[in-house]
Structure 1
Amino acid sequence: MLSYAAILLVAFFAAASGQGQAPPSPPPPTRVTGTVIVLHSHGETWNDTSDETDVSYAALFGEGENEKRVRFNLGAVSDAADVVTGDKITFTVRQQAAGQRHRQLLSDPLECDPSSGLCLDAGQATLESAVTAKDFVVDGKPVNITGIILHASVCDTPAKMSLDALRGALFNADQSSPSKNVTLQHYYGTCSYGKVQFLPQNNLVASVSLPCSALYLTTSTGQSVFYNSSACADPELYGWQRDALAQATQKLGVADASPFKRRVLILPYRPACAWAGLAMVGCGVTCATWLNQGSSTLFMPDLFHELGHNIGLQHSYRFSDTGQPIDYGDWTDPMGSGAAANDPFQNKSMVCLSAPVAFKAGWARPAFNLSLAGRVGIVPASPLIVTLPSMHLTDANFLYINVSSLPDFIPSWPGGVPGIPRSNQLFVSYRVKQPAPGFDSGLADELSQKVYVHSYNTTYTLPVRPDINRPELLSTLVAVLSAKATSAKAGGMSVLTQYRLDFGNLPGAPGSVNGLDLQPLVLNSTHAVLRVCYFTVASEDLAEDGCGNAPTPSQPSTSCSKAAQSAASAQPAPSAADAAKPPTAAKPQAPPAAAKAPAAAKP
């Protein structure tokens, strides 16, 4: 098996130097292994839910002067592909066909990369090795982010902000005291409960000047490929990154840039780049992010969002009232559309991650752990009283409900990869806006002191790996609850006083009715008191002391009192290492030193 694309280029084009000779026969297909790059780009309006995420793929072959990046297209199977930046994939490389067109299906003609001249047959690809996300927090072990931030001017276009202003946006002014505004350092430290650190000693900043045009690469046939300031394709993206990094390391006196994993290139606005941000999903050895800066201030949610992709986080969805998943739709999460309200420069307040995304990242863990199918911690017709802390108070902050197991999700690409374990899971959390620049200080007033119900069906496994970019596998906001029915965000989603859903037949549970009823009883500045009921009859008045017998905070029912007492004396939720075991009964927990993950209940 060949290792480098340079060898392949020679095989494809060596005969081209002969003049007046008959064209040679196409070379036979060749197998070659490369490192995959997965890119997410986002529209110029970062949190516009009408925009669709543009996902693109490339494979990196060789090293140094022999390095080649080759785009490939997955067509219709893209939205179910289990691939992230850093995976090793073996491709079949073929001769480009005449009249090449854009590939829509794996059965269609190949899409050939114009810069490298290589044609990768993704339909014949096999996985050699899959990476795990090293920047997820596991068992509370802190993560220190490392990177080089490249502050660029391009051709005759100067950078949008000064280097000092950029440093002020990235790092706290006083490293010995809390920040008075939202820097990237403050954002990470606050929203991760101190588990993720973005420190100036680990993240270098340098100004660079990129030319109007420069050589990107020379093919084996001697063809020169240039990047230029009026375009925004692969030669520009990777040529800019390469040359900016070379300038920065020389300026900074850095002989070896490999310890600095993230390379963030902040460009002055480029009209040819139809995105606000572009980022690699996952981070193998290194990973790149590009920002297309259109203002004189750094739009912090945009940078946090793109670096979230580097960690391995995907987008946060919400369901509309008609049940349609909306990309970027979750207003309570910067991986959705969670920008700070009434903060035009996005530097005084911030919105932290939602409960399921914070859990995936390893930043948050459950305060309570229930299972319907396993009937663990909850039994039919015996409502529980659950007191949830606001997420700003502790990292143990959500109610985890395992409804049932689900069939594995089978990825569409590459062939032969294992299925993705799934469970029907709900994450119930409470969010309260804090004074600036504190936790959730950017929540809109109408979103504060609300209970949020998220669906997130990908089972937590170790080692942690980024999720497949598919709505039914990702965090989705399904309900907003309050003591009074209203609407949120200009009527885009109703605010309910009750979340009630019958899941029907569940594996391991008798009967055809298995449902959940959630109602907020008390919402204050620190906690939400919820009534949680498991019902097994379609009509509430048929249940003995069932969900129709709603307790009140002042006079709880006997069953609720007993359930609350039982929950208070139950065992704590299991750790990620015990993920194969059934979940324990719900109990309020004090945050231990290490983050814990709920187990996926097995019926």
Structure 2
Amino acid sequence: MSALYVDERKPGCNGFHLQKDFIYFTPNDTDRSTNGSAWRLVASGDNLVEKYKVLTGDLVQLRYSAASPPVPAAATPPASPGGRRMLSDAPVDPIDPIDPGLDGIDVLTGDLVQLRYSAASPPVPAAATPPASPGGRRMLSDAPVDPIDPIDPGLDGIDVLSATEGHEIYTGETIRVKSMVYILSMCGWPASMTVEVRWGGAAQRLFFTGSSNIKDYTSSCSYGKSVYEPTENFIVGNIDVNCSGTVASGSLKYAYDSSTKCDAAEQFAWRLAGDAAGRAAGYGDFMDNSLRRRIIMILPREVKCQWAGLGSVGCGGRFCTVYIKGSTQGDIGVYFHELGHTQGLSHAGKGLVEYGDTSDVMGDDGSSTQGYLCTNSGNMFRIGWNAPLASLSPALTNIASNMGVPGRWLLPATSAADVNFVALNYSFVGVPFPNLFISFRVRADSYDNILSSSNNNRVFVHVFNGTASDRDYNRTNLVATLSSGGIYRSGFADTRGRQDAGGGVRVSVLSINTGVSATIQLCRFTELVETNCEDTIDNDCNGLTDAEDPACRATRSPQLNL
């Protein structure tokens, strides 16, 4: 069994991430030891979190097919009885051990699962023939190892045996974020950030005391529902890590070289060095007794990482990790973005651009300004930070209101209230239709204080088919940014005039009270062109009813004038 660790990519966001997601496995961490992790990369590719439904910390067990393909350059390893092997039986590559036969995962961090591999996987280069273990099992140390690219054949998939219990969604009890922050130097490269006992060091300013800091960022954007306090988040540095060498877990050894790579073995070495320094500094009890602890590693500027930041998705189990490249060590948005991943948030998209929502720190605002950019209404809802003014079904859209006029809504600025958006729940009756989240954002003193001018005092329409659940993998997608007089008209699901499902919706911004609120008008349409011309309803939401609508006038028979 092992703990699942996930890194998520972000290729289009100023180099925040690589062009890939990575899924790593480590031995079972339920004993809470902090140095017993032997890393193994089992999957690498595009958008793995959504594809395989995984989060950091799931407990897993590998399940293999009975027959694996031949191993070139060495004899074929023995098959395990019943087609089962433990993770420790699998061939390991310390550099790029990818398991190409992985068929599917549906797990989160901390789940107990099984892996399923296809019966036919590519051949596995190997250095030597491992001896058979009793009962057909082999230890990882017995397995064939290729230092360049060994593939683990025969994996049929992952089965969740015991799901991790998520605690990253606010349900009435304050979420207390806990972390160890390690500031590292290596390979003759100096630490990218200073640490001082007093509160004047750059690290202390970034996390706690500066004009823009992680502590205030967390409380401001969450309305105080999540907190990042200095009594539960500790900074240790400067920690000098050997440039190269081996890291070991039990009988397993991994070679690493931080002068050239930032891969699994290097990350393992950095974390072990950080944890050792943390214990030496007197934080052992905290490390042993805190669950869902973030381990934040701030690297030198010169490391060869292709990303600015790398974060675990979700934070079940004992810990999750965040890596910050030294060249972005002062960018508070990078930290909050990666910490957002540890809460389970995905990227905030726009159209086909996965990171295109510039109003959300989980997207790409393209700004170098230091300050607080919060998340959109869908992402806030996902982690329990906000609530809707109303959740409207199709039948209620043209009726409900908080202003006394059917379909009319006053939206408060999200900076001023946590009950702040209108949700249109159009998919609950089984007709496929994207759910809409409608909100109003302004630049305030702390909340959203670096919101761009193009997003300031705007109404936002997002598609989000997600829920406030640790196991929800849906992403938000921005479909409209509206100023006063702006109109968004959704797509149309033809349900032949049904009032309880389908149709479409028109969102009109009637007015904006700068910095305070926006007034919108909703109109659900059941036809694209008016055909029911005697029901006193504007069925196509063009503002014209029955005989007023040109479509109705065109279909009427000409009258004979006598």
Please give the TM-score of this superposition, normalised by the length of structure 1: 0.69
Query: Residues 525-536 of structure 1 correspond to what in structure 2 (within 5 A)?
Result: 525=514, 526-536=516-526
Query: Residues 113-512 of structure 1 correspond to what in structure 2 (within 5 A)?
Result: 119=152, 121-138=154-171, 140-163=172-195, 164-172=201-209, 181-207=211-237, 208-217=239-248, 220=251, 225-260=255-290, 261-284=293-316, 285-294=318-327, 298-319=330-351, 325-338=352-365, 341=367, 343=369, 346=370, 349-372=371-394, 375-376=395-396, 378-379=398-399, 383-405=406-428, 424-435=434-445, 438-460=446-468, 464-468=469-473, 473-483=474-484, 497-506=486-495, 509=498
Shift of residue 550, structure 1, vs aligned partner: 7.8
Change (3 A) 1:120 1:196: farther
CA distance in 1, matches of 2:287, 2:98: 37
CA distance in 2, matches of 1:276, 1:77: 18
2:6 aligns with one of 13, 28, 38: 38
Change (3 A) 1:158 1:313: same
Shift of residue 136, structure 1, vs aligned partner: 1.5
Unpaired segments ≥5 residues, structure 1:
1-32, 174-180, 320-324, 409-421, 485-496, 552-603
CA distance in 2, matches of 1:537, 1:135: 42
CA distance in 1, matches of 2:448, 2:285: 40
Shift of residue 123, structure 1, vs aligned partner: 2.1
Shift of residue 125, structure 1, vs aligned partner: 2.9
Q: Are residue 544 (structure 1) and residue 536 (structure 2) matched? A: yes
Q: Match of 1:536, as an amino acid?
A: T
Partner of 2:41: 71
Answer with 206-215 or 254-263: which moved more.
Answer: 254-263
Answer with 282-291 or 124-133: which moved more.
Answer: 124-133
Partner of 1:570: none
CA distance in 2, matches of 1:536, 1:233: 54
Q: Quick one: percent identity of the two aligned structures? A: 24
| Contact kept in structure 2, 1:91 and 1:120, CA below 8 Å | no
Change (3 A) 1:517 1:69: same
3-state SS of 2:489 partner: strand
CA distance in 2, matches of 1:153, 1:76: 31
Partner of 1:59: 25
3-state SS of 1:258 partner: helix
Change (3 A) 1:309 1:227: same
Shift of residue 536, structure 1, vs aligned partner: 1.7
3-state SS of 1:245 partner: helix
Please give the TM-score of this superposition, normalised by the length of structure 2: 0.74
> RMSD value over aligned CA atoms?
3.4
| Contact kept in structure 1, 2:310 and 2:322, CA below 8 Å | yes
Change (3 A) 1:228 1:331: closer
Shift of residue 351, structure 1, vs aligned partner: 1.1
| Contact kept in structure 2, 1:386 and 1:530, CA below 8 Å | yes
CA distance in 1, matches of 2:44, 2:156: 8
Unpaired segments ≥5 residues, structure 2:
74-90, 92-96, 103-117, 125-143, 196-200, 546-562
Change (3 A) 1:452 1:48: farther
Change (3 A) 1:440 1:231: same
3-state SS of 1:268 partner: coil
RCO higher in structure (CA 8 A, sep ≥6): 1
Shift of residue 87, structure 1, vs aligned partner: 1.5
Q: Are residue 98 (structure 1) and residue 106 (structure 2) matched? A: no
Shift of residue 271, structure 1, vs aligned partner: 4.1
**Deviation per residue, 1:440-466 (Å, 9 max, x gap):** 110111211111000011244xxx214
